[in-house]
Amino acid sequence: MIYLGADHAGFDLKKIIKNYLDSIGVANKDLGNTKLDPDDDYNDFAKKVAQKVAREKGARGILICGTGNGVCIVANKIRGIQAAIAHNEFTARMAKRHGDTNILCLGGRVVKPTKAKKLVKIWLEEKLSPDPKYLRRIKKIFALEKNL
Ligand code: RB5
């Protein structure tokens, strides 16, 4: 399952990404905002999506705010979340291949819809690199959650 979340600055792009996921048959759920509210806070949707992803085995998330920064900062506060921003094909690919992220963050004011769909496709299809050094680094990140 792919959980989606966005504030006002990512609202339109979230709809586009949802339609795209539907069109390619990828199960997804929109966790809001469900209406365009210019005064909403990215924090609330990032928290919702990140908690779902952290609790549900195999789940992933896509979060969108104006830059991708706000939602990414919030999501990475939740234990079990590895979130990264992608603004181009390379960063989308590496977010998975080297970072094994379970949440992709996009900037609705940064990437155009066609590019954003491409980034989502790349991130969904990419796998963690088999080179053990990447897993070693990811394990070091998760060790920080246990204060080791
Ligand atoms: C909201 O205007 C904007 O600050 C927010 O969407 C995001 O870009 C923050 O990182």
Q: What is the pLDDT of residues 4-46, one digit of tens each?
A: 999 999 999 999 999 999 999 999 999 999 999 999 999 999 9
- Report the alpha-carbon distance of residue 8 to residue 34 in Å, rounded: 10
Tell me which residue has its CA closest to atom 9 in ligand 1: 70
Q: What is the pLDDT of residues 59-107, one digit of tens each?
A: 999 999 999 999 999 999 999 999 999 999 999 999 999 999 999 999 9
Residue 48: other Cβ atoms inside 10 A: 18
pTM of the model: 0.97
Helix pair 113-125, 11-23: axis angle to 10 deg: 50
Report which secondary-structure segment, H or E, holds 122: helix 113-125
* Residue 72: predicted pLDDT: 99
Dist. CA 61–CA 78, nearest whole Å? 13
Residue 123 identity: W
| 98 carries an active-site annotation | yes
Q: Which band of pLDDT confidence, cut at 50, 70 and 90, is reported for residue 147? A: confident
CA of 11 to the centre of ligand 1 (A): 11
Please tell me the distance from the alpha carbon of residue 139 to that of residue 86, in angstroms, as a whole number. 22
Told to judge if 87 belongs to the known catalytic residues of this protein, a careful annotator would answer no
Pick from 36, 39, 42 the residue to mutate for probing ligand 1's pocket: most ligand atoms within 8 Å of its CB: 42
148 has a pLDDT exceeding 70: no
Atom of ligand 1 nearest to the CA of 109: 8
